[in-house]
């Protein structure tokens, strides 16, 4: 294992960067410093899903109980519905062993829960990265506030607009999906007493609406996907009028129950949905990428944050097997080799899931669309939720060692 004196700089204090800090400290035993450009840790007030495959990682890191207590585990399987609220199929948001289930998290609560597991002295706020470069003594990072430091290695968890990614030599073009989403939360006390505390997705006429519980069921998160070219003419996100969201789901073609829910919304924001094609490389020397910086994906499989959490476990596992700081570049190459295929598949799958929800392209035939969603239910459980990032990394290490000594 690398020395406890090994220093790793993590660029980005979001959910991926904080999980990486926990994993690198607890699994690899290295010193970490997290740099966050904002003046305080936090995320916009909306929901995120911690999927079973991510819960497995968080359990191994010893933080799952804290996260579950801050989130909301649904009452049972979610449902996919047509526009009028008729059942298409249920959604098994759990692994095959039924040990781990989806957890709905209010983003600020997830950030807070992760931050509580990290020594606050290791977090540097108000540090916007301006440059990262390899030097003889390691990797130098420089910030707009004039601060700089040199680390044995640097992990870029700095999102879709990653600066660290440029240092790896990757410059992907953002790909606009043709859709934006309205997002926000509703006070659950305003809902009817029999409102189901599960994930619900209404699908119809080139748009969809999802909701699920957060914060011990005190809040209900909503995400509404709408076709639009708005993000192509200016900002990628911004505040929105509730009336424009309501108009998208008005009329006799939509479930009155959904319209009742929308009538309770008092505030919403919009985001353009972008991703990028899979990168050809994640690492260069002692610099590597994690989370959205490496594999921005659409939200339709609920795997964006969960893949960053998987990345963190894999990265820590490979780094723990390095014997000294000079082995870090090889550890990073191995990490990227294992993670790139997994995340590329899920990037593609997230695009496909969006097309299914909105009856686009090959899914314009609703009977075929509904059949594919039913078939995908069990596949998602086995291929996505049952995945064990630590086990896969350990198996890969065994293969690498066999090749090395063959």
Q: Any idea which residues carry the catalytic annotation?
A: 212
Cβ neighbors of 232 (< 8 A, separation 6 or more) are 176, 272
**Could you give the angle at the alpha carbon of 199 between the alpha carbons of 103 and 64, nearest 5°?**
5
**Quick one: tokens of 338?**
């294992």
DSSP, residue by residue, 281-341 = -S-BTTEEE-THHHH---GGGS-HHHHHHHHHHHHHHHHHT--SGGGHHHHHHHHHHHHHH
Cβ neighbors of 76 (< 8 A, separation 6 or more) are 198
Please name which of 115, 112, 117, 127 lies closest in space to residue 12, comparing C-alpha atoms. 127
**Quick one: tokens of 4?**
């406890």
Please name which of 172, 132, 173, 175 lies closest in space to residue 280, comparing C-alpha atoms. 172
* 363 vs 374: CA distance, rounded Å: 13
Please name which of 18, 17, 50 lies closest in space to residue 302, comparing C-alpha atoms. 50
* 269 vs 101: CA distance, rounded Å: 28
């Amino acid at each position: 294992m690398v020395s406890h004196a090994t220093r790793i700089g993590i660029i980005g204090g979001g959910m991926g960067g904080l999980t990486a800090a926990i994993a690198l400290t607890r699994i690899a035993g290295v010193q970490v410093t997290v740099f966050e450009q904002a003046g305080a840790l936090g995320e916009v007030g909306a929901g995120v899903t911690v999927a079973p495959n991510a819960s497995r990682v968080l359990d191994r890191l010893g933080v799952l109980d804290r996260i579950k207590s801050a989130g909301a585990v649904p009452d049972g399987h979610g449902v996919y519905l047509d526009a009028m609220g008729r059942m298409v199929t249920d959604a098994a948001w759990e692994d095959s062993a039924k040990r781990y289930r989806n957890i709905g998290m209010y983003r600020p609560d997830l950030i807070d829960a992760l931050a509580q597991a990290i020594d606050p002295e290791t977090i540097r706020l108000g540090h916007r990265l301006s440059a990262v470069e390899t030097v003889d003594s390691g990797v130098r990072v420089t910030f707009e506030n004039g601060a700089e430091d040199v680390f044995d290695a640097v992990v870029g968890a700095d999102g879709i607009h990653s600066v660290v990614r440029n240092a790896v030599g990757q410059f992907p073009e953002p790909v606009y999906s043709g859709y934006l989403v309205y997002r926000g939360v509703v006070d659950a006390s305003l809902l009817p007493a029999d409102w189901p505390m599960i994930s619900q997705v209404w699908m119809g006429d080139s748009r969809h609406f999802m909701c699920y519980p957060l914060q011990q069921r005190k809040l209900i998160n909503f995400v509404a996907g709408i076709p639009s070219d708005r993000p192509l003419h200016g900002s990628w996100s911004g505040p929105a009028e509730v009336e424009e969201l309501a108009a998208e789901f008005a009329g006799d073609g939509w479930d009155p129950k959904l319209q009742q829910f929308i009538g309770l919304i008092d505030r919403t924001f919009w985001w353009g949905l972008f991703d990028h094609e899979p990168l050809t490389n994640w690492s260069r020397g002692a610099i590597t990428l994690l989370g959205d910086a490496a594999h921005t994906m659409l939200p339709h499989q609920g795997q964006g944050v969960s893949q960053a959490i998987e990345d963190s476990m894999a990265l820590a596992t490979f780094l723990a097997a390095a014997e000294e700081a000079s082995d870090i570049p090889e550890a990073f190459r191995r990490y990227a080799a294992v993670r790139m295929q997994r995340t590329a598949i899920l990037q593609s799958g997230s695009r496909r899931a969006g097309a299914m929800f909105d009856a686009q392209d090959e899914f314009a035939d609703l009977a075929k669309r509904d059949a594919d969603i039913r078939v995908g239910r069990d596949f998602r459980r086995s291929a996505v939720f049952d995945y064990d990032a630590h086990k896969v990394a350990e198996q890969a290490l065994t293969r690498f060692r066999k090749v090395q000594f063959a």
